[in-house]
Structure 1
Amino acid sequence: MPTLTKLYTMQEASEHNSAGDCWVVIDGKVYDVSSYLEEHPGGDDVLLQVTGKDATDEFEDAGHSKTARELMESFFVGELDTSDIPQLEIVSEKQENYIFDLTKQYWAVPLAAIGISVVVTFLYLRKK
């Protein structure tokens, strides 16, 4: 029989944000690390800074070992319910064209300056 995994919203996870009740979210999984604060090799302040938050980036940046990742599973309490997380908006083609048009404008000024320089030089040399 499959084990049912509890789903938590980010709001629910963020309510567990103290030394006595410390939850972190890493890679969409929710961990209760309250009992691990004193044992954490980096100190409890590292965990307390990210308690009640998504700590995926901080966890990955620290370069945790395979052993640390295995130990982390013992603190697993559930998964993050991603249905309430807003999705990133995809840039529309119209916005992409606008950005491309701006880059064209940056070429206009130097080309105009070069064109004026050529005309002035031509007129100057013609008078000689």
Structure 2
Amino acid sequence: MPTLAKLYSMEEVSGHNTKDDCWIVIDGKVYDVTSYLDEHPGGDDVVVEATAKDATDDFEDVGHSDSARELLQNFCIGELDKSTPTVPELEIYSKKKQASENTQNFMALSKPYWAVPVVIVGVSVVVGFLCLHKK
């Protein structure tokens, strides 16, 4: 009878994201590669950066050899639970929206400051006219 693979949520996997405790997800499988980090030819930082997300594309982009793929199987601890969301919903963010918000924030901050110089100039003009009419 085959052993059922343990299911892990992406939230659980993403909690293992340090050099001392490193799990990655590739092709729906969860791997605990902590003990391999020191031996990884690309350095441990590359692997740690691939945590907390599906690292399949990163793994494939590098072009790992067949022997690397076989070695990876030694670290498999379970599968990713696909019934839970893998990535939280992200808000779409655009440069136009950011520019518009920045402009509005700038205008809101600058409104109280333009009034003081205008009042000073206005008072100066009135005082100047009063001084000229007294002569």
Q: Fold match, TM over 0.5?
A: yes
Give the conservation status (yes or no) of the 8 Å contact 1:37–1:44.
yes
Give the conservation status (yes or no) of the 8 Å contact 1:17–1:51.
yes
What's the counterpart of residue 85 of structure 2? 85
What's the counterpart of residue 56 of structure 1? 56
Cα distance in 2 for residues equivalent to 1:11 and 1:48? 16
What's the counterpart of residue 120 of structure 1? none
User: Does structure 1 residue 24 correspond to structure 2 residue 21?
Assistant: no
Shift of 1:36: 0.4
Give aligned-pair identity as a percent. Answer: 66
Kindly report the root-mean-square deviation, in angstroms, between the aligned alpha carbons of the 2 structures.
Answer: 1.0
Tell me how many residue pairs correspond in the alignment.
Answer: 86
Larger radius of gyration: 2
Structure 1: 5+ residue stretches without partners: 87-128
Cα distance in 1 for residues equivalent to 2:53 and 2:3? 26
- TM-score calculated relative to the size of structure 2: 0.62
Cα distance in 2 for residues equivalent to 1:13 and 1:53? 8
Structure 2: 5+ residue stretches without partners: 87-135
